[in-house]
Structure formats: structure tokens, C-alpha cells
């Protein structure tokens, strides 16, 4: 009888295998039929090593040469991930800087003759870039929308959302980020870079993309989810290292924020990958200094060197710094809640109307952003340039077509600048560099900073969740540095001390908002120190991060946790909540019965069970001689059709 089950199972498995999809953008439905994935479905991954007889036999057949080859391939893949992510980050940054440079140069040259014509050109340029981004996402790679960090965090915690690590998602993420960031939307490219690194790592782990004929048998070494998970962890760290030029921060980000499994061997590979990224980015920036990269260089990769800023701080400054932490916690928690409400409305009402509505929505957001960033500086009166020393590097005003500090925008006199245009009419990286800058006291008025804070905060809330690749690191730094500089202006006027720098308070404000929104501490602290190149401010950054996180935790969870819950990604917390400590498994299951497989089962029963529920994991139960039930393993849904069915059903420990 058992041989008959075996033969029938083999034939059924071959039949179902012939009906499986060959493309990498299709997923299995409940009975193994192909189904287009929209990124909304997910399945469980098994990262545990099942030490059954088959596993022990496989390990015993491996010789020392095979084990050495296996380890060497892991390190080689870590090298490739670092190189690939670094090159992707260089390409994105060069493209964004050049598009922004062309846009501002063209706009500044036209407004010398007509502000109306310059305004129209500025709007059309932004619309073209943003439309290219949303078209790529909606028509080619739907899973490339958003930052991708909640989905990657779910993947590293055992929940795979279909479509998030495909080759088309990687392409959509890269080119979509160029369009959305270059188009001036209130979002950043740092979150998408984390997703980009994860996609590169996953594609290497599975040997490439079969659909686009970019696969190699020599790369198809790793066959388990656990090995691919380790590669994706390296990719996440590489993305952060490339985005912020912060290799140590990338390692800590992967450890603190995204992964739930960590060991010393993985840490060494992650650290090696981040170091490779740092070398690649540094080499590319050195090559671009010769002028071969167009407008790249004045903005470039994020590195806001404030080592020439405030040297020391007094005890009485700790109170306003603590207030910055409280403000960051409040505004960060409010940001999380507002984006949660708006994203929920989008997903359940607006985005269900089709791709055309998504494209119209993003184009409207781009139009509003362009009108605000161009129109508000026109309403602001220009300020006279400050008196600078002869040997100072400060140039006021900037000549037309050049963007940086002291931008001349709609000013009647030569020695005047528009402080609101200095923030609005710039790339986000350059605007943050201006807000962080030292020796520029009284460059901004409180009215301009408050106007920018309200407008940009509102734009960031509305833009987050649209159908374009969107990161929240740089917009968070923009928001935080604005109110931080406001507090710094108050401290300068109140204490009347010459050694107090407004840029220092802008940095602390940026850290406080990110801590209040994303609830990261150690990794964020190291990232802020690495991008500012000022180790003296480490205790102050730690202070505001601790305060902002404590304040934000009193209201809601972090941004990525809220967005993961909204997307239906079940993240298992590292520790159970207090109310769950006395809860039994029976109480958690409620009235639902456990769906399981017996040790020996018919193929028809397997298909019936898969059709009747949407579970991704099924316990395998055996019975002892005295009738006691014994759990001998766990079956995942995809194993039932991607393996030899009868062999799997007879699998035991």
C-alpha cells in the first residue's frame, strides 16, 4: 500500500510541477496554481535547521573541501553585495545631483528674465521626474513603492511578502528613487537604498533572475532560507552604509532594527560588506572630484562635516537640549500617527481605484510641492548679507545658478539673500548642510524657519505612502534640524554667549525627530556621529535620543512597526507584552483547531487541507504506542509542491 501511495504521489507531484509558474513575479495560490502577486500576500519562512536523518546524511557527505568552498562563497557573496550596493548608491546619487543641478541651473537662468517662465519650467521639470517614478512603480514594479524597510524587516523575521526581492523591484527602486528624489518631493533615497541592497543580496543568493535570463548555475549554492536571510542582512547593512557613508552605523542598524537573529560569524560578514561599500563610495567620490560627474560634488553623498562647530557646551545648555528631545518625541509620535491614518485611507479607499488614480495623486503632490517651494520664497523679503571676514569661505549672495548658503532669489539689491529660498530652493542634502552650518548666526529668521517647518512637515506627512520609492531619514533630519535651529536661536539670544552655534542645535533636533519617529537609539547615534564627523557631540546626541524615544513610546510604536502592522506583516516582538505572560497557547488559539499533517498522508488529503485554509506552516504529528500525540516537525506550504510529495510526508526526525 505504501508503494502505491508513493507512485501516486510522484505522478501528482509531476503534474503539479508542470503547472507551476516559471517567472519570478508569480506566486503560488492555495492549491499550487499561479497567481500574480501584488505585494500584499505573504508566507512564512523556516530559518531553523531541522536536524533529521536526511540533514545528517547530507552533512556527513560533505568533505573539508566542500565546507571550505561553502564558506568561501559566503565571503565572496558578501564582497559582491558590497560592490553592487555601493555602485547602485553612486549611480543614484550622481543621477539625483545632476537632475537637481540641471533643474536649478535652468530655473535660475530663466528667472533672470521672467519669474513666471521660470516657475513653469520648474514645475514641468519636477512633474516629468515624478511621473517617470510613479509610472515605473505602478506599471512595472508595484513592490518598489515606499521605503521597503518594513517588508525587509518582516522577511528577516520569517515573513516573506511576495515581490519585494525580485529583479524588477530592484530596477524600479533604483530608477524610481532617482525620479522621486530628483523631482523635489519631501522624501529621501536612504530607505530605498536599504531595500536595494537587500534585493541585490537576495538575487545573488538565488543565483540571479530566471525570468530575465540573468541567472548562473555557479551562483546557485544556497538552498535554504537561512543562508539567504544572512545575505539579505548583509544587504541591509550595505544599504545604510552606502546611504550615509556610515559603515559602523550600517552594522548596528542591521543588528538593532531589522534582524531578529544574530551570531558572530554573521557579524563579521556584515562588517566586511559595509567596509567594502565604504571603499567603493570613497573611490567613486574621489573619481568625481575631477569634474567627470557633472553637478555631483557640491551636494554628493550625505556627509555634513560640522567639526569646526561648537567646541564645548555648558551645564545650563542641557535644559534646552532636553526640551529638543521632548519636542522630537512629540512631533515624531504625531508624524507616525498621521502617516498611519493617511496610509490606511490610501490603501483601503484611494489606491483601490487603480493605477491611474495613484499616478494622478503623485502628480498632484508634486504640483503642490513645487508651488510651495517656489511660491513661498517670493513672499519673503530679502535680508542684507552679513559682514564676513576677508579670509572667510562664505559667499553672499550666491551667483545665479549656484545653490548653497545665501541664495539670491527675487531680491532687488545685489548684496541681499532670501533665507527661505536657501532652504526651499535647494536639494535636501544641501539644505541640511546649510542648517547645520557653523559661523552663520542670524542667517535665518525665526519666521522663515517656522514657515518651513509647518509646510515641510505637512508635505512629508502627505507624501509618505504615495506610490513612489520613499525614505524618511532625510525628511526627518530636515524637520528636526529646523526646530532645532529655532531652539538654538533662542539659546543664543538668551545666554548671550559667543561659543554657542545654532548648527549644533540643528543637529540635535535632527537626532531627536528621528529618535521620536523611528525609535532607534544605538545605530542612529553612531550614524549621526559618522555623518557629522564630530565625536564631541556624542553625549548630547545620546541624551536627546533617549528622551525623544521615551516620549514617543508613551504614545505609539515606531514608524516601521506601525507601517508593518498596516501592511499585514506579522512581526513577532522580541519579548511578549506584560498581558501575554500568563497566556497559554490554548487561550491564544481560541476556538480554532490546529491544522496538521499526520506522518503518512494521502495526496488528496494534502490538497484538501491546503484549499481549506491559508496557513503557511503545518505541524507534522505522529502517535506513540500508548496513543500519545508527538510533534515531529513542521511543514511549510511551498514544500508540499516544490518537493517530492511522498518523501516529504514520510519525513521524520
Cell of 458: 505637512
Domain's final residue, options 513, 535, 566? 566
> What's the half-sphere exposure (Cβ side, CA atoms, 13 Å) at 526?
16
User: In the chain, how many domains are there?
Assistant: 3
Same-domain status, 405 and 494: yes
271 falls within a domain? yes
Mean pLDDT of 334-361: 92
Cell of 5: 501511495
Q: Is-contact 351 467, C-beta < 8 A?
A: yes
Look at residue 561 and give its three-state secondary structure: helix
Mean pLDDT of the residues in the chain: 81
Same-domain status, 561 and 599: no
Q: How far apart are CA 115 and CA 385, in angstroms?
A: 22
574 falls within a domain? no
458 falls within a domain? yes
Same-domain status, 133 and 23: no
Same-domain status, 594 and 451: no
Mean pLDDT of 600-607: 84
Same-domain status, 119 and 163: yes
pLDDT of residue 233: 93
Q: Is-contact 185 463, C-beta < 8 A?
A: yes
Q: How far apart are CA 504 and CA 471, in angstroms?
A: 24
572 falls within a domain? no
Domain's final residue, options 532, 566, 600? 566
Tell me the angle at which helices 473-495 and 318-345 cross, rounded to the nearest 10 degrees: 150
Residue ranges making up the domain that contains 287: 65-292
Mean pLDDT of 69-97: 91
Question: What pLDDT, in 10s, does the model give residues 393-430?
Answer: 667 777 655 556 677 777 877 778 888 888 888 778 87
Beta bridge partners of 360: none
Q: Helices marked H in 346-391 — which ranges?
A: 355-378
310 falls within a domain? no
Decide if pLDDT at 36 tops 70. no
Same-domain status, 595 and 534: no
CA dihedral 337→340→344→350, nearest 10 degrees, is: 100
Mean pLDDT of 93-109: 88
Same-domain status, 541 and 623: no
Q: How far apart are CA 257 and CA 171, in angstroms?
A: 25
pLDDT of residue 480: 95
Pairing of strands 26-28, 597-598: unpaired
Same-domain status, 451 and 550: yes
Same-domain status, 530 and 620: no
Q: Counting every residue, how long is the chain? A: 653
For residue 618, give the DSSP letter. Answer: E
Same-domain status, 529 and 637: no
Pairing of strands 42-44, 617-623: unpaired
55 falls within a domain? no
Domain's final residue, options 523, 540, 566? 566
Mean pLDDT of 188-214: 83
Decide if pLDDT at 28 tops 50. no
Decide if pLDDT at 649 tops 60. no
576 falls within a domain? no
Question: What pLDDT, in 10s, does the model give residues 194-203?
Answer: 999 999 999 9
Question: Which one has a higher pLDDT value, 258 or 84?
Answer: 84
| End-to-end C-alpha distance for the chain, whole angstroms | 23
CATH number of 507's domain: 1.10.3080.10
Question: Which one has a higher pLDDT value, 596 or 587?
Answer: 596
Q: What angle do CA 488, 489, 494 make, to 5 degrees?
A: 95
Decide if pLDDT at 312 tops 80. no
Question: What pLDDT, in 10s, does the model give residues 504-557?
Answer: 899 999 999 999 999 998 999 999 888 887 788 888 999 999 999 999 999 999
Same-domain status, 194 and 260: yes
Q: How far apart are CA 252 and CA 267, in angstroms?
A: 10
> Cell 521626474 identifies what position?
129
Which percentage of the chain shows pLDDT scores above 70?
A: 82
Helix/strand/coil percent split, the chain, to 5: 60, 5, 30
Same-domain status, 343 and 273: no
127 falls within a domain? yes
Which band of pLDDT confidence, cut at 50, 70 and 90, is reported for residue 21?
very low
- Phi then psi dihedrals of residue 214, to 5 deg: -120, 40
Amino acid at each position: 500500500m505504501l508503494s502505491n501511495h508513493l507512485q501516486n504521489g510522484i505522478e501528482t507531484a509531476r503534474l503539479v510541477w508542470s503547472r507551476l509558474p516559471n517567472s519570478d513575479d508569480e506566486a503560488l495560490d492555495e492549491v499550487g496554481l499561479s497567481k500574480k502577486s501584488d505585494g500584499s500576500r505573504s508566507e512564512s519562512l523556516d530559518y531553523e535547521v531541522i536536524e533529521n536523518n536526511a540533514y545528517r546524511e547530507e552533512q556527513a557527505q560533505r568533505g573539508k573541501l566542500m565546507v571550505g568552498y561553502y564558506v568561501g562563497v559566503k565571503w565572496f557573496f558578501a564582497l559582491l553585495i558590497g560592490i553592487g550596493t555601493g555602485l547602485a548608491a553612486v549611480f543614484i546619487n550622481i543621477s539625483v545631483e545632476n537632475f537637481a543641478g540641471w533643474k536649478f541651473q535652468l530655473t535660475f537662468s530663466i528667472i533672470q528674465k521672467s519669474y513666471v517662465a521660470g516657475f513653469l519650467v520648474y514645475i514641468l521639470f519636477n512633474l516629468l521626474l515624478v511621473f517617470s517614478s510613479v509610472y515605473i512603480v505602478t506599471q512595472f514594479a508595484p513592490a518598489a513603492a515606499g521605503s521597503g524597510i518594513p517588508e525587509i524587516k518582516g522577511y528577516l523575521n520569517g515573513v516573506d511578502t511576495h515581490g519585494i526581492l525580485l529583479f524588477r523591484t530592484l530596477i524600479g527602486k533604483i530608477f524610481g528613487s532617482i525620479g522621486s528624489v530628483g523631482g523635489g518631493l519631501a522624501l529621501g533615497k536612504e530607505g530605498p537604498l536599504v531595500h536595494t541592497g537587500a534585493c541585490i543580496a537576495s538575487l545573488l543568493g538565488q543565483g540571479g533572475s530566471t525570468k530575465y535570463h540573468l541567472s548562473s548555475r555557479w551562483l546557485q549554492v544556497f538552498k535554504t532560507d537561512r543562508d539567504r536571510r544572512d545575505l539579505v542582512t548583509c544587504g541591509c547593512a550595505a544599504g545604510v552604509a552606502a546611504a550615509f557613508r556610515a559603515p559602523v552605523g550600517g552594522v548596528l542598524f542591521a543588528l538593532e532594527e531589522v534582524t531578529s537573529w544574530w551570531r558572530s560569524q554573521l557579524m563579521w560578514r556584515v562588517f566586511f560588506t559595509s567596509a567594502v561599500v565604504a571603499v567603493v563610495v570613497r573611490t567613486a567620490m574621489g573619481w568625481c572630484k575631477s569634474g567627470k560627474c557633472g553637478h555631483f560634488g557640491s551636494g554628493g553623498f550625505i556627509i555634513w562635516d560640522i567639526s569646526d562647530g561648537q567646541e564645548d557646551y555648558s551645564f545650563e545648555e542641557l535644559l534646552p537640549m532636553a526640551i529638543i528631545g521632548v519636542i522630537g518625541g512629540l512631533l515624531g509620535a504625531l508624524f507616525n500617527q498621521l502617516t498611519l491614518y493617511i496610509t490606511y485611507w490610501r490603501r483601503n479607499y484611494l489606491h483601490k481605484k487603480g493605477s491611474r488614480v495613484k499616478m494622478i495623486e503623485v502628480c498632484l503632490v508634486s504640483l503642490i510641492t513645487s508651488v510651495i517651494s517656489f511660491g513661498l520664497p517670493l513672499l519673503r523679503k530679502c535680508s542684507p548679507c552679513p559682514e564676513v571676514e576677508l579670509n572667510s569661505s562664505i559667499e553672499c549672495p550666491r551667483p545665479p545658478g549656484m545653490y548653497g548658503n545665501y541664495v539670491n532669489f527675487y531680491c532687488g539689491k545685489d548684496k541681499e539673500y532670501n533665507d527661505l529660498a536657501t532652504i526651499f530652493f535647494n536639494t535636501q542634502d544641501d539644505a541640511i548642510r546649510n542648517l547645520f552650518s557653523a559661523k552663520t548666526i542670524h542667517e535665518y529668521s525665526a519666521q522663515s524657519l517656522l514657515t518651513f517647518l509647518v509646510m515641510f512637515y505637512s508635505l512629508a506627512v502627505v507624501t509618505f505612502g504615495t506610490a513612489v520609492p520613499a525614505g524618511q531619514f532625510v525628511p526627518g533630519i530636515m524637520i528636526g534640524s529646523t526646530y532645532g535651529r529655532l531652539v538654538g536661536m533662542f539659546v543664543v539670544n538668551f545666554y548671550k554667549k559667543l561659543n554657542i552655534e545654532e548648527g549644533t542645535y540643528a543637529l540635535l533636533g535632527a537626532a531627536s525627530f528621528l529618535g521620536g519617529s523611528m525609535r532607534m537609539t544605538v545605530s542612529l547615534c553612531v550614524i549621526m556621529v559618522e555623518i557629522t564627523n564630530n565625536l564631541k557631540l556624542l553625549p548630547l546626541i545620546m541624551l536627546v535620543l533617549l528622551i525623544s524615544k521615551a516620549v514617543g513610546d508613551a504614545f505609539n510604536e515606531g514608524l516601521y512597526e506601525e507601517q508593518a502592522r498596516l501592511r499585514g506583516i506579522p512581526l513577532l516582538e522580541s519579548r511578549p507584552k506584560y498581558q501575554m505572560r500568563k497566556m497559554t497557547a490554548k487561550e491564544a488559539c481560541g476556538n480554532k483547531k490546529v491544522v496538521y499533517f499526520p506522518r503518512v498522508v494521502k495526496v488528496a488529503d494534502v490538497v484538501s487541507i491546503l484549499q481549506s485554509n491559508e496557513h503557511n506552516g503545518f505541524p507534522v504529528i505522529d502517535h506513540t504506542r500508548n496513543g500519545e500525540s508527538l510533534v515531529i516537525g513542521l511543514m511549510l506550504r511551498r514544500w508540499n509542491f516544490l518537493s517530492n510529495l511522498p518523501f516529504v510526508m514520510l519525513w521524520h526526525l
